[in-house]
């Protein structure tokens, strides 16, 4: 585990790997490591780079632990033959909590992860002490006939992508120059991410070509495009919302986005009536409002975070943690050295 400096975010961080039964997920812990951080979860086909412009503007007293979800960014792909499902991502949250021995978790989520966090909050409201959702407030539901067609389509396309994994080691995927990649991502997000901000997400989603200098290919898992959502019906989503009755819950809606629309009204009204700590704010921007307009988003979130996770430690720096780690290692080395000396003395006497 190495300490790094990030010139983009202007916050110190530590890169790490969090063990999972199939391997690990990669994480990046910004700032304070003395207290439990906010767990930051990105959207569909994105990665932790989605938070790069927002993190420097958030309160200094609390750290942010960002992860790349399985199949995204630099986290390893799931084994062949295994489908991606929203429930798997709920389990990732629980496994991270177990790894760090957290009794509760604070979550900052965008898009797909906002849906996952809505499910998590409904299942484990007593294990969540703060939830911030960017531009989605509920699970998705479709008419039954459309849902059946969606499932069948996902299965068939997943199988194609799964077979492609076997060929990936033999044949490199199509590669592009950086300008082409930026344009592909810009159009792929329905122009939600501005061209200049595409690089934050692309950085962790591409790999340099071994065949063509100055070209790159997409290295995230193509099967993620056909992951299986936790689909519900309006009555089911309403019941899930009723269970989130005492969790500080802040929802940010991008003014130019339709991801929170009239279908979300019932869930929002339930949360407003049942949860005294629920907030809904609309901020100028697209679905990636947190990435494109971080100052306005931070103005809301700083107040919300300071209210529900106020400072516990007055002063802190990552350098202090590093010095403590170094002192601990030096003491361990001294103990080992003393044991070796004693062992040699015993052997010489024999």
**Alpha carbons 130 and 134: distance in angstroms, whole number:** 13
For Cα atoms 229, 192, 115, give the angle at the middle one, nearest 5 degrees.
Answer: 25
**Alpha carbons 159 and 257: distance in angstroms, whole number:** 32
Catalytic residue among 75, 106, 111, 264: 111
Does residue 231 contact residue 118 with C-beta atoms inside 8 Å? Answer: no
Which residue from 141, 101, 134, 100 is spatially nearest to 117, judged by alpha carbons? Answer: 134
Residue by residue, DSSP assigns 115-179 as HHHHHHHHH-GGGEEEEEEES--S-----HHHHHHHHHHHHHHHHHHHHHHHHHTTSPPP-B-HH
**Whole-Å CA distances, 342 to 142, 173, 330, 331, 345:** 72, 59, 18, 17, 5
3-state secondary structure of 307: helix
What are the φ/ψ torsions at residue 109 (nearest 5 degrees)? -135, 150
3-state secondary structure of 180: helix
**Alpha carbons 216 and 203: distance in angstroms, whole number:** 10
Burial state string for 281-307 with b = 16 or more CB within 10 A and e = fewer than 16: eebebbbbbbbbbbebbbeebeebbee
Q: Is 114 a catalytic residue?
A: no
State the catalytic residues.
Answer: 111
């Amino acid at each position: 585990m190495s300490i790094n400096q990030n010139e983009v975010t202007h916050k110190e961080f530590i890169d790490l790997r969090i063990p999972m039964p199939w391997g690990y997920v990669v994480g990046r812990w910004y700032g304070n490591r003395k207290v439990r951080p906010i767990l930051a979860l990105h959207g569909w086909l994105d990665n932790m780079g989605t938070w790069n412009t927002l993190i420097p503007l958030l309160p200094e007293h609390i750290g942010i632990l960002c992860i790349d979800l399985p199949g995204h960014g630099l986290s390893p792909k799931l084994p062949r033959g295994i489908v991606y499902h929203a429930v798997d991502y709920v389990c990732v949250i629980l496994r991270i909590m177990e790894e760090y021995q957290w009794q509760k978790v604070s979550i900052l989520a965008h898009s797909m992860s906002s849906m996952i966090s809505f499910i998590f909050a409904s299942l484990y409201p007593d294990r969540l002490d703060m939830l911030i959702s960017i531009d989605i407030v509920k699970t998705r539901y479709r008419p039954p006939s459309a849902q059946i067609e969606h499932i069948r389509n996902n299965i068939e396309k997943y199988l194609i992508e799964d077979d492609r994994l076997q060929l990936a080691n033999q044949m490199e995927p199509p590669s592009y120059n950086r300008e082409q990649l930026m344009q592909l991502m810009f159009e792929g997000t329905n122009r939600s991410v501005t061209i200049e901000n595409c690089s934050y997400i692309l950085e962790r989603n591409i790999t340099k070509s071994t065949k063509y200098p100055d070209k790159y290919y997409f290295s995230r898992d193509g099967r993620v495009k056909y992951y299986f959502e936790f689909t519900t019906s309006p009555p089911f989503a309403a019941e899930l919302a009723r269970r989130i009755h005492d969790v500080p819950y802040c929802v940010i809606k991008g003014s130019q986005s339709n991801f929170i629309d009239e279908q979300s009204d019932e869930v929002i009204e339930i949360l407003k009536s049942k949860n005294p700590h629920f907030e809904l704010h609309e901020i100028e921007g697209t679905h990636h409002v947190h990435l494109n307009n971080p100052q306005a988003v931070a103005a809301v979130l700083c107040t919300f975070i300071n209210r529900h996770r106020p400072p516990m430690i007055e002063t802190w720096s990552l350098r202090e943690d590093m010095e403590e780690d170094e002192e601990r290692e030096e003491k361990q080395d001294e103990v080992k050295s003393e044991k070796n000396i004693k062992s040699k003395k015993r052997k010489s006497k024999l």
